Amino acid sequence: MSTIAQHIGENVRLGSNVRVWHFTYIGDGAEIGDNTKVGSLVHIDYDVKIGSDCKIEGMAYLPPLTRVGDRVFIGPGAVFTNDPYPMSDRMVGVVVEDDAVICAGAVLMPGVTVGARSVVGMGSVVTRDVPPDSVVFGNPAKVRYTKEAYLAKRDALLRKG
């Protein structure tokens, strides 16, 4: 773990081989699973739980009550929110299930669940739950492909390339 200008709160549980980069904040009671990498300028607030083998890119924001599964990728500048009626006392966390991908600059509204193996496209605003094995993008984000169709398109582009 790097030691340059970080804040690691009280009662934080870091799994084995966790890497935390510069200028990162991890709030009280947060839990981060084994082999997870946390980029620079990431803010992981109190009572956040992150699984194993995840990668969280720089400048991402994960507020209190966020739950992230295993093998999740969170792109740079992704913002999760937890206050459905700012400024209220009612907080509702975001849930990201196993093997999901949240691309750069995505914004996830309070209380949404991103299903297992789903992809949220760059700059999307997710206002409702994302079904498992789906690809969503846009503002508001809508299901555009199944994960299977998305992978077929990606592989076709790679073969051309």
Give the count of beta carbons closer than 10 Å to the beta carbon of residue 5. Answer: 10
- pLDDT number for residue 3: 52
Q: Is 10 exposed, middle or buried (0-12, 13-18, 19+ CB in 10 A)?
A: exposed
In the numeric block, the tokens 């077929």 are attached to 152
- pLDDT number for residue 100: 98
In the numeric block, the tokens 């209220």 are attached to 88
- Helix (H) or strand (E) run with residue 156 in it: helix 147-160
Q: Is 9 helix (H, G, I), strand (E, B) or coil?
A: coil
> What does each of the 161 residues of the chain score in pLDDT, given as a tens digit?
545 668 899 999 999 999 999 999 999 999 999 999 999 999 999 999 999 999 999 999 999 999 999 999 999 999 999 998 888 888 999 999 999 999 999 999 999 999 999 999 999 999 999 999 999 999 999 999 999 999 999 899 999 87
- pLDDT number for residue 84: 85
Indicate the Cα dihedral angle 56, 95, 151, 57, nearest 10°: -10
- 121: nearest Cα among 137, 132, 100, 145: 137
The hierarchical CATH code for the domain 7-160 is: 2.160.10.10
In the numeric block, the tokens 């846009």 are attached to 138
Q: Is 73 exposed, middle or buried (0-12, 13-18, 19+ CB in 10 A)?
A: middle
- Helix (H) or strand (E) run with residue 102 in it: strand 101-102
- Helix (H) or strand (E) run with residue 126 in it: strand 125-126
Amino acid at 12: V
Domain parsing of the chain, residue ranges: 7-160
- pLDDT number for residue 86: 82
Residue 154 dihedral angles phi and psi, to the nearest 5°: -60, -45
